[in-house]
Chain A
Amino acid sequence: MNTAVTQMRETKEFDLARSKLRELNQFLHGDLGTVKQVRVLNPDGAHSIAVGVDAPVSIQIDGHAGYYAGGMNKLATITIEGNAGPGVAENMMSGRVHVKGFASVSAGASTHGGLLVIGGDAGLRCGISLKGGDIVVGGDVGAFSAFMAQAGRLVVCGDAAENLGDSLYEAVIYVRGHVKSLGADAQFEPMTDADYASVAELLAQAGMTHDPKTFKRIASARQLYHWNADANQEY
């Protein structure tokens, strides 16, 4: 048995300073038996940590993760104690990924389901091509967040940079702070009781405490749904 891998009852540890990422992911893709919790030590920004997991296991990453941490997750609950690189939880189907620190670009890209929580700020294109599922960001989001987002919800507790919600389909964005600018076909809409309930529910799931009444709603004006030659490609 690899000395870098320690198993104690229902918890298993992988020390990436001593064992390979391949071993970790291979283990996570196999029969987990009685293991309910996996701890990843010394991640040191490794890419593709805990990708493609399809089991209700809890995974704790003790440090910073590189690209695509928790990518295409199904069912697992993944916690990143540090920051996350580009594409964290990309194409997630279900489960939960929680970044305690900041997340780089394309956080939650093309995610279909589940919940992505980012404690700090998120970079450019957070929630790009979102296809369902929810993202809650404790801090700010970068430019072009929710670009072409098709379904699901993005909650931003801080500010949003330029072109928020550009070319939105049916996804909905809630922002508490300042929106520098909206992208093509995105518009502010009045908050309804259902929106306040959504925000309250998502904040509770993310463990954040803000007054839902302080959030604004952004959704698609649906002017791009059908090709309009008279718009002269200016939207």
Chain B
Amino acid sequence: MQTKPPPGAPSLEESWGYDRKTIDYIQRAAATGLYEIRGLGAKRRVPHFDDLLFLGASLSRYPLEGYREKCSSKTVLGTRFAKKPVELEMPITIAGMSFGALSANVKEALGRAATAVGSSTTTGDGGMTEEERRSSKTLVYQCLPSRYGFNPDDLRRADAVEVVIGQGAKPGGGGMLLGQKINPRVAQMRVLPEGVDQRSAARHPDWTGPDDLTIKILELREITDWRIPVYVKVGATRTYNDVKLAVHSGADVVVVDGMQGGTAATQTTFIENVGIPTLAALRQAVEALEDLNMVGKVQLIISGGIRSGADIAKALAMGADAVSIGQGMLMALGCNSDTYVQGGTHHSAIADYAKLGTAPGFCHHCHTGQCPVGVTTQDAVLEQRLQPEVGATRVRNYLKTMNMELTTIARACGKQNVHHLEREDLVALTVEAAAMAGVPLAGTQWVPGRDLTRT
């Protein structure tokens, strides 16, 4: 905090370009010769769903009665080719996060919570664990460039398969799991020597480009007898083109992950400087589906910094069919909380945050494996700080709360189904958000970049 200078002393002026944060970065680089690696997502301020508002019902729109009139949130994903599409009770899915990055307890907690409320969970870069398969009614199996733990038996017992091209936190980057998290079980699942700093491939080993992807998707369909949907996940960059190519490649569902999406471990410079905001990516993805006349045929899942029912409502109004949430789930479990629950009582974790050089509310030390609240760890002692029952209750409550918020907003906009929310229901608070989301600046007809005479 800036202190007031004594009377008569010259006032202190901090440089905008070389503020304390920048000086700290330069001096840290100078001292260590290392770039920073950390977890979670971009911390910089970018235009986001906070910059949008709903218009709500008015004289020309009838609202629905809260609590009394029905508002459906049922969501079906994978209707294009799969014999058995994914059917959910809410348009909220749990994002792919690896066993390795997360503990087995966490994977089980996520599965239990998703099953209780009709959501889905997703595996990650490390294969499918028994805990998550057993606890998840609907489990999406990721096919990643590393192919760690990937095998046909797990593919056949998955409810959908997601071909991961990229991730919002690091489009163009491969996975990273530092040695302290490669314990014997993780090493065995990934066929790696224990304790190595694992840096997985950025490109798939057996296909290159969209034409190959078409053939790869056909192989996955043949192996699963066309039963389960195929998702294609891209990090948000050239989203309009990527979504078009994913659709051409035969995807049932396209998942677009914006730059605010999280990671277990990536270079800070990558997290903060590569990719585009979720808001901009979502509009581009919807435009691609509209231009291909594929709205309603190929479903769109958006992720990257989605935290609340309001965020979800705005994403759906912009044209998403569902959202995917990773970091929010971790925070529901206790990430960045100052306590953890063990033996039915709360214990302070502040000293353990301090050991990592951080504090609750600021921690992004997932990469260390020393998570003070037992979420992003493989440490035998720390992982006991998050028990599946406690975690499942928290995540279930979080999912339920968000879905109630979503239906509250949908009712206020006069919709009997959350999927009826539309762009027309939205306005933007800033010129930037209006341009990125393609909705008018509040109180105007103006959508930056759009020709008013054509509306």
Q: How many angstroms from the CA of A28 to the CA of B224 in the assembled complex?
A: 12
CA distance A151 to B190 in the complex (A): 11
**Contact present for B223 and A150 (CB under 8 Å):** no
A87 with B206: CB separation less than 8 A: yes
Shortest distance in angstroms between A124's beta carbon and chain B's nearest beta carbon? Answer: 10
CB interface residues, B 19-42, toward A, < 8 Å: 32-34
Q: Is the CB of B205 within 8 A of A74?
A: no
Contact assessment for B206 and A229 in the assembled complex, using a CB-CB cutoff below 8 Å: no
- The reply on B196 being an interface residue by CB < 8 A is yes
Chain B 191-219 interface 0/1 with A at a Cβ cutoff of 8 Å (1 = within): 11100110101000111000010011011
In the docked arrangement, what's the CA distance between A137 and B224, Å? 30
Interface size on A, residues (CB 8 A): 41
| In the complex, chain B residues 146-194 whose Cβ is within 8 Å of any chain A Cβ | 146-147, 150-153, 155-156, 178-179, 190-193
Main secondary structure of the interface of A (DSSP, over half): loop
Cross-chain contact A129 with B147 (CB below 8 angstroms): yes
Secondary structure of the B side of the interface?
loop
Question: B192 — which chain A residues lie within 8 A by C-beta?
Answer: 150, 169
C-alpha gap A169/B197 in the complex (Å): 11
- Tell which of A21, A129, A225 touches B222, judged by Cβ atoms closer than 8 Å: A21
- Which residues of A lie under 8 Å from residue B50 when comparing CB positions? none
Q: Are B219 and A47 in contact, with the CB atoms below 8 A?
A: yes
Instruction: Establish whether residues A151 and B191, one from each chain, have CB atoms under 8 Å apart when the complex forms.
Output: yes
Within 197-254 of B, Cβ neighbours of A (below 8 Å) are at: 197, 199, 201, 205-207, 212, 215-216, 218-219, 222-226
Contacts of A227 in B (CB 8 A): 178, 197, 199
Known pairs A128-B205, A129-B146; A52 contacts B223 (CB<8 A) = yes
Q: State the Cβ distance, B250 to closest chain A Cβ, in Å.
A: 12
CA distance A147 to B218 in the complex (A): 25
Which of chain B's residues has its CB closest to A86's CB? B206
For chain A, residues 137 to 153, give those with C-beta under 8 angstroms from any C-beta of chain B.
Answer: 147-148, 150-151
A48 touches B196 (CB 8 A): no
A122 to B188, CA, bound (A): 29
Is the pair A106, B205 in contact by a Cβ cutoff of 8 Å? yes
**Minimal beta-carbon separation of A106 from chain B (angstroms):** 4
Chain A: minimal CB distance from B64 (Å)? 46
Report B157 CB to chain A, min CB distance, Å: 12
Residues of A within 8 A of B193 (CB): 169-170, 225
B159 to chain A, nearest CB (A): 17
Q: B197–A225 contact, CB under 8 A?
A: yes
Classify chain B: how many residues form its interface, as a range.
Answer: 20 to 34
CB distance from B33 to the nearest CB of A (A): 5
Select from chain B the residue with minimum beta-carbon distance to A71. B219
In the bound complex, residues from chain A placing their C-beta under 8 Å from that of B197 are: 225-227
Q: A150-B192, A169-B193 are in contact. Are A110 and B150 (CB under 8 A)?
A: yes
* Least Cβ–Cβ distance between B270 and chain A, in angstroms: 14
Q: Which of B76-106 contact A (CB under 8 A)?
A: none
Contact code string A119-134 (vs B, CB < 8 Å = 1, else 0): 0000001001101100
Cα distance, A125 to B201, chains bound together (Å) = 13
Closest B residue to A28 using CB positions: B222
In the docked arrangement, what's the CA distance between A1 and B151, Å? 33
Distance in angstroms between the alpha carbons of A132 and B148 in the assembled complex: 12
A48 to B206, CA, bound (A): 13
Shortest Cβ distance from B348 into chain A, in angstroms?
33
In the bound complex, what is the Cα–Cα distance between A132 and B190 (angstroms)?
Answer: 11
| Centre residue among B190, B192, B206, B207 by max chain A CB count within 10 A | B206
**Distance (Å) between the CB of B422 and the closest chain A CB?**
39
Name the CB-closest residue of B to A50. B222
The docked-state distance in angstroms from the alpha carbon of A21 to that of B225 is: 11
Does the CB pair A109–B225 fall under 8 Å?
no
**In whole angstroms, how far apart are the Cα atoms of A172 and B194 in the complex?**
18
B196 engages A26 (CB within 8 Å): no
The answer to whether the Cβ of A54 comes within 8 Å of any Cβ in the partner chain is yes
| Minimum distance in angstroms from B228 CB to a CB of chain A | 12
User: Is residue A215 contacting chain B, with contact meaning CB distance below 8 A?
Assistant: no
- Give complex CA distance A91, B153 in Å: 12
Q: Scan A8-34; emit 1 where CB is below 8 A from any B CB, else 0.
A: 000000000000011001100100000
Scan A40-54; emit 1 where CB is below 8 A from any B CB, else 0. 000000011001101
Instruction: Tell me, in angstroms, the Cα distance from A226 to B147 when the chains sit together.
Output: 21
* Beta-carbon contacts under 8 Å, A78-126 to B: 86-87, 90-91, 93, 106, 109-110, 112, 125
12 contacts between A and B (CB under 8 A): A25-B222, A47-B218, A48-B223, A72-B155, A93-B152, A109-B147, A109-B206, A110-B206, A150-B190, A169-B196, A170-B193, A226-B196
Given contacts A52-B224, A91-B151, 6 further A-B contacts (CB under 8 A): A51-B223, A68-B216, A68-B219, A112-B191, A129-B146, A229-B33
Q: Top 5 nearest A-B pairs by Cβ distance?
A: A52-B223, A87-B206, A72-B152, A110-B147, A109-B205
